[in-house]
Chain A
Amino acid sequence: MSTPSPRVLVVDDEQAIRHFLRVSLSSHGYDVHEATTAQEALAAVRADRPDVIILDLGLPDGDGIEVTRRLREWSQIPIIILSVREREADKIAALDAGADDYLTKPFGVGELLARVRVALRHAAPSPGQSAFVTGDLRVDLEHRLVSVGGREVQLTPTEYDLLRVLILHAGKVLTHRQLLRLVWGAPYEAETHLLRVNISNLRRRIEPDPTRPRYILTEPGVGYRLCDNPKL
């Protein structure tokens, strides 16, 4: 236990939410700091140097998306949005502004803890391992080899690129726009049908049951997420 506990900054104006987050996060070994306004949040990020920020969108003195944008000007600290806003447009706006993840209230603590772990892992320097393994799926990023249950799978170059980008952000939701930019390039940002067709084809090759995907999960209206610990 020589490593210090990860610091989490909780930004929410609801006392009840802050309280239960403090209780549950502390009991899982996190060092919890709190802020109730956008101004406090920006100050606390400089003062407390948190490892991850849990941010509400509706703050009394401003919008969480604006806070995200201002933080991204100088910091890459992972930001998880926690909001009652369930419209896809809000989620996309937050993610495109630089948030790492988005969770709609109400939510389960288990779900939140999983997202926090993913965010912390991405923030840490990657240990340089070249193979990604989850469930039966194994992807050797160095040799561009993909296998499911030990059986090698042939992918088109585009399908492989798509899978690689998802793996590099494993556990994180990527918006349609982000995926299109990362795989096809900025001019293709609006071509969502390209993405849908390739996701569909990729699933047919790596998913045991494409109707109930285990690896590539759809976030309706927002984007896709590669699940890095599929429950069987």
Chain B
Amino acid sequence: MALSGDRDRQMAREGNTAARSGKMVALGSAATWLPYVYGVALILAATLLGQGLLPFIQPSSNLVVLYLVPVVVSALYWGAGPSIITSVLSILAYRLLFVPQRLPLSLVDDYIMFLTVLIVGLVVSTLATRARDQAALARRAADQTAALYALSRDLAAAGDLDTIARAVVARISQTFACDAAVLLPRGDSLVAQAGTFEMTGDTEEAAALWALRHAQSAGWGSTVHHGAQALYLPLTTGHKVMGVLAIRRAGNDMWREDQRYLLDVFASQAAMAIERAQLAEDARQAYILEATRKMQTALLNSISHDLRTPLASITGSLTSLLDNEVRLDEGTRHDLIETARQQAERLNHLVGNLLDMTRLEAGAMQPVREPCDIQDLIGAALAQLGDRVKERQIAVDLPDDLPMVAMDFVLMTQVLVNLLDNALKYSAPQTIVDISAHLTDTSVQIDVADRGIGIPDDDLPHVFDRFYRVRHAGRVDGSGLGLSLSKGIVELHGGRLTGAHRPGGGTIFSIELPLTPTTPRLPEGQV
């Protein structure tokens, strides 16, 4: 089936070509005999003029000059063939109509005149043809230079592979009136980066790959894989094949030598542009890789510091207790045990935050949003902080008409715990930490405010960055993960977490959560 189909298509193509070339022959003959008709017409005109002038011009042999006009005109515009025929017909007309002694052509004058006219015709036609050819060449060269210039201008402006490929395809299809595509290697195959036609079929692919691997042209009109419909030119930069340029011409006319030359120049321009873009891309990747590596190193340093510090305290406390040579009094023993316990708690908190951060970044944290009581939320957060809030004064100010707000209770509790933890850590023990909430038309805002040391202006934009810690905070324990994690969680809820200076000193963090239309408000006591 496939074979016969192929053959059918092949025959159809051959038929087409035959029909088209037949038409070309017909047209060509029309074009070739027309100049002879014009020549004869000119001779007729010269003869009529000569007849008209005969009474006034003596001797009549001077009238032969009139016949130079058709000969020169034929030679000038239509080439050698028409000029020879015109010459012969002109002399015959002159001799028959204007010379009294008619036939035969025996006089020496006759032959000299004949030869002179013929030579004039041939010389003029040769010169004219050469001039025409040179003009055509010059025009073609100008066109090609312009096309090349346009391409290099496009390529200079193009920054990335995609733009380069599209510019190359556009310029080539415009300059050569053909289909074009730029194919770039990806893995073991070639992928079209841009093109005006689709390369389909094994034959095409084989030809394209051959061109890529051998850095030589393949496909239609070349010596390799000439069964392919398109011509495949390697995009080489001298030492490297960057890709393949595919070109397909409607009707598959042969490429002229100068066109092939220009195509090669286009291909090498395109190749250089592609190489430049790839080098730039490689450099950018290398830069990103380096930046990522540096960040990871910083991250690992930070994590390892934060994990080791509490472990060091725990190990130190426990080994002191085990040390048989030192008699510790009861108070000291208790202190050491309490230190170990606190540091274990800190370690657990850090590991929890690290796990949550990983979950958040992996997209594995899915908030379960249910209507929640904000008072309950605050209560749960305070309960989680346990003993730490027992010694501190926390003022809670909530409006009575606060509705239930849709949120993931557990995750939001964690956010509040982190914010409270910060507020407690960075403020003096005798100061008050304020928690308040208020409603806007579309959201509920929960503020956690302290009268602590505040955050310097320079640090404020960075407090939500991972592992960022305010410089003067050196003495306070913390991993720099809590705020960044909290921001992530609030944003998962479609809300915002912001930090600001508190008027009168200290810091204020605000959670803003959107109120959804489904937020239910049940009257008190309803069952």
Residues of A within 8 A of B (CB): 86, 88, 106, 156-159, 184, 192-194, 196-201, 203, 210-213, 217-218, 220-221
- For A219, the closest partner residue in chain B by CB is B380
Whether the pair A193, B410 counts as a contact (CB closer than 8 A) is: no
Whether the pair B379, A193 counts as a contact (CB closer than 8 A) is: no
Q: A220-B409, A220-B410, A221-B409 are in contact. Are A211 and B398 (CB under 8 A)?
A: yes
Q: A88-B410, A196-B372, A220-B410 are in contact. Are A106 and B380 (CB under 8 A)?
A: no
Whether the pair A199, B376 counts as a contact (CB closer than 8 A) is: yes
- Please indicate the chain A residues that have their CB under 8 angstroms from the CB of B524 in the complex: 197, 201
- Minimal beta-carbon separation of B345 from chain A (angstroms): 8
- Please indicate the chain A residues that have their CB under 8 angstroms from the CB of B525 in the complex: 156, 158-159, 198, 201
A106-B344, A193-B520, A221-B408 given; name 17 further pairs at CB < 8 Å. A158-B525, A158-B527, A196-B404, A197-B524, A198-B525, A203-B375, A203-B376, A211-B375, A211-B398, A212-B383, A213-B379, A217-B383, A220-B380, A220-B384, A220-B410, A221-B368, A221-B410
- For B522, the closest partner residue in chain A by CB is A197
- Please indicate the chain B residues that have their CB under 8 angstroms from the CB of A210 in the complex: 375, 379
B348-396 residues at the A interface, CB under 8 angstroms: 348, 352, 368, 370-373, 375-376, 378-380, 382-384, 396
- Please indicate the chain A residues that have their CB under 8 angstroms from the CB of B378 in the complex: 211
What are 12 residue pairs bridging A and B, where the CB atoms are less than 8 Å apart in the complex?
A: A193-B404, A193-B520, A194-B527, A196-B372, A199-B376, A200-B376, A210-B379, A212-B382, A218-B379, A218-B380, A220-B380, A220-B413
Chain A CB within 8 A of B526 CB:
yes
Q: Mark B64-97, 1 if CB is under 8 A from A, else 0.
A: 0000000000000000000000000000000000
Whether the pair B373, A200 counts as a contact (CB closer than 8 A) is: yes
Whether the pair A196, B376 counts as a contact (CB closer than 8 A) is: yes
- Please indicate the chain B residues that have their CB under 8 angstroms from the CB of A213 in the complex: 379, 383
Complex Cα distance, B408 from A219, in Å, reads 13
Interface residues in B, total, Cβ within 8 A: 29
- Please indicate the chain A residues that have their CB under 8 angstroms from the CB of B344 in the complex: 106
Whether the pair A200, B527 counts as a contact (CB closer than 8 A) is: no
Whether the pair A196, B373 counts as a contact (CB closer than 8 A) is: yes
Whether the pair B370, A193 counts as a contact (CB closer than 8 A) is: yes
B470-487 residues at the A interface, CB under 8 angstroms: none
- For B378, the closest partner residue in chain A by CB is A211
Complex Cα distance, B523 from A156, in Å, reads 13
Complex Cα distance, B503 from A88, in Å, reads 39
- Minimal beta-carbon separation of A32 from chain B (angstroms): 23
- For A193, the closest partner residue in chain B by CB is B371
- Please indicate the chain A residues that have their CB under 8 angstroms from the CB of B375 in the complex: 200, 203, 210-211
Complex Cα distance, B398 from A163, in Å, reads 25
- Minimal beta-carbon separation of B167 from chain A (angstroms): 54
- For B390, the closest partner residue in chain A by CB is A231
Complex Cα distance, B76 from A94, in Å, reads 105
Complex Cα distance, B380 from A203, in Å, reads 13
Counting chain B CB atoms within 10 Å of each CB, the highest count among A158, A194, A199, A218 belongs to A218
Name the contact of B373 in the complex, choosing from A88, A159, A194, A199 (C-beta under 8 A): A199
- Please indicate the chain B residues that have their CB under 8 angstroms from the CB of A157 in the complex: 527
Whether the pair B526, A211 counts as a contact (CB closer than 8 A) is: no
Complex Cα distance, B487 from A219, in Å, reads 23
Whether the pair B352, A86 counts as a contact (CB closer than 8 A) is: yes
Whether the pair A193, B376 counts as a contact (CB closer than 8 A) is: no
Complex Cα distance, B289 from A69, in Å, reads 51
Complex Cα distance, B273 from A152, in Å, reads 88
- Please indicate the chain A residues that have their CB under 8 angstroms from the CB of B380 in the complex: 218, 220
Whether the pair B382, A192 counts as a contact (CB closer than 8 A) is: no
- Minimal beta-carbon separation of A6 from chain B (angstroms): 27
Q: A86-B352, A106-B344 are in contact. Are A218 and B376 (CB under 8 A)?
A: yes
Counting chain B CB atoms within 10 Å of each CB, the highest count among A198, A201, A211, A221 belongs to A211
- Please indicate the chain B residues that have their CB under 8 angstroms from the CB of A212 in the complex: 379, 382-383
- Please indicate the chain B residues that have their CB under 8 angstroms from the CB of A203 in the complex: 375-376
Complex Cα distance, B379 from A196, in Å, reads 13
Complex Cα distance, B408 from A220, in Å, reads 10
- For B372, the closest partner residue in chain A by CB is A196
- Minimal beta-carbon separation of B356 from chain A (angstroms): 10
- For B352, the closest partner residue in chain A by CB is A86
- For B389, the closest partner residue in chain A by CB is A212
Instruction: Rank and list the top 10 A-B pairs by shortest CB-CB distance, nearest first.
Output: A221-B410, A211-B396, A218-B380, A156-B525, A193-B371, A220-B410, A200-B373, A158-B527, A197-B522, A220-B413
